[in-house]
Amino acid sequence: MPHLIFGAGSIGTTATSFTYTWDTPAKVAALLTELRRLGLCTLDSAASYPPGNAWNTETLLGQAACLSGDSFRLMPFIIDTKVLVRAGEPFLSDALVDASISHSLALLRVSRVRTLYAHANDGITPLAGQAAALDRQVRLGRCAQYGLSNYAPADVASFFDICEEHKYIKPAVVQGMYNALRREAEDELLPLLRRHGCAFYAYSPLAGGFLTGKVTAAKDRQDGAGRRGEGPPGELLRTRWHGASAFPPYLKIYDTPAMHAAVRRLQAVCAAADPPMTTQEAAMRWLLHHSALTDTDDGVIFGAKTVEQIRTNVAEMRRGPLPEAVREVVDGLWATTRKPKTAAKNSKASL
């Protein structure tokens, strides 16, 4: 089964963004204890986390380490982080990469992380300059390896070529959006990574919560409520799907008739299964046991808002392959939701 990685972007707090549970050092320390108990020992962090409040996640992680003393440092956590995104700036230049990882290490109270990611292509720094900057951090010992996140397949291919030409260390892992409704990675990116022996970590396995069915259910209710002059469904407040915390890229991708229809098909087959299962269980089990991810190197980054959610999600994910009837429906969703291919563009959907 692919590795399970906990998305640390749910640690922290912002004024208008999502509802956060782990917003104090004590709460974070308790979370880490529970993650360890469940065998989840890899954290996917970023200088820009949580969205809208850069450095807060890593500040709290470091404070939790201090609060817990030596016992925390002995916990077998693997930490990955990402370079701080600076809008309109060459944040992947050597100087800004150096400044970002230096500050992350100081906040986390560690001497190095496992993986340092470029969170996205900054569109300013040439790829050769980005490769040189990331290569240098590995050679300095500040990270064991580096990776790329949200890069177009063509840019990843160019990155590998540049590294081979200049004898730079190659990216060890690439992160990208991948779930039952969005499988573009299978077309070009995954075959490219396999040729170079590079791992793939899938983020947004539940499409930002869309695959739980709550967005479709709320929309169906709101369609009727709107005719009666009622307001938006309360369960979507402080989520990616409504109000100040709404994330436009996800709304554009998922809030479409085809996507809602796909969720309804999934809900129907999950309700008819014996025993019945939730749509999120079906989506996660498909990703771990039936998708194009490999068992040895690839991973799935998932998040949660409560410890109870983590426990439930992990238990569901570890139940093994899906019943054939459910698998067939999940396999077929992509054919109904994919759009005609267009020119590849850099994506910053997870920022």
**Please, which residues bridge with residue 79 across strands?**
43
Inform me whether the pLDDT recorded for 346 exceeds 80: no
Q: Could you check whether the bond before residue 321 is cis, i.e. omega within 30 degrees of 0?
A: no
Q: What is the DSSP string of 60-85?
A: HHHHHHHHHTHHHHTS--EEEEEPPP
CA atoms of 251 and 326, how far apart (whole Å): 26
pLDDT recorded at residue 341: 66
Q: pLDDT tens-digit profile of 12-33?
A: 987 665 557 899 999 999 999 9
Element (H, E) at 92: none
Q: List Cα–Cα distances, 203 to 6, 143, 287, 303, in angstroms.
A: 10, 21, 11, 9
pLDDT recorded at residue 263: 98
Largest CA distance in the chain: 65
pLDDT recorded at residue 347: 47
pLDDT recorded at residue 241: 77
CA atoms of 77 and 84, how far apart (whole Å): 22
What's the token pair of residue 41?
Answer: 């020992």
pLDDT recorded at residue 74: 40
Inform me whether the pLDDT recorded for 180 exceeds 90: yes
Closest CA to 104 of 171, 43, 185: 43
CATH of domain 3-208+283-320: 3.20.20.100
**Please, which residues bridge with residue 3 across strands?**
299
pLDDT recorded at residue 223: 66
Span of 159-163, 282-286, 316-320 with lowest mean pLDDT: 316-320
Inform me whether the pLDDT recorded for 238 exceeds 70: no
| Torsion on CA atoms 310, 337, 348, 19, rounded to nearest 10 | -30
Q: What is the mean pLDDT of residues 74-94?
A: 91
pLDDT recorded at residue 224: 56
3-state secondary structure of 182: strand
Q: What is the mean pLDDT of residues 334-341?
A: 87
Give catalytic residues, as residue numbers: 49
Model confidence at 89, pLDDT cuts 50, 70, 90, reads: very high
Inform me whether the pLDDT recorded for 342 exceeds 60: no
Q: What is the mean pLDDT of residues 228-250?
A: 65
Domain boundaries, the chain: 3-208+283-320
CA atoms of 327 and 282, how far apart (whole Å): 8
Report the share of the chain in percent with pLDDT over 90: 78
Q: Could you check whether the bond before residue 50 is cis, i.e. omega within 30 degrees of 0?
A: yes
Q: Are 166 and 132 in contact (CB under 8 A)?
A: yes
Span of 54-68, 182-196, 297-311 with lowest mean pLDDT: 54-68
Inform me whether the pLDDT recorded for 10 exceeds 60: yes
What's the token pair of residue 136?
Answer: 């240098």
Q: pLDDT tens-digit profile of 195-219?
A: 999 999 999 999 999 999 999 998 8
Q: pLDDT tens-digit profile of 282-316?
A: 999 999 999 999 998 999 999 998 999 999 999 99
Q: Which residues make Cβ contacts (< 8 Å) with residue 45, sequence separation at least 6?
A: 8, 9, 57, 58, 61, 79, 80, 81, 82, 104, 108
Report which of residues 221 and 273 the model is more confident about: 273
Q: What is the mean pLDDT of residues 139-168?
A: 98
Closest CA to 276 of 266, 262, 264, 288: 266
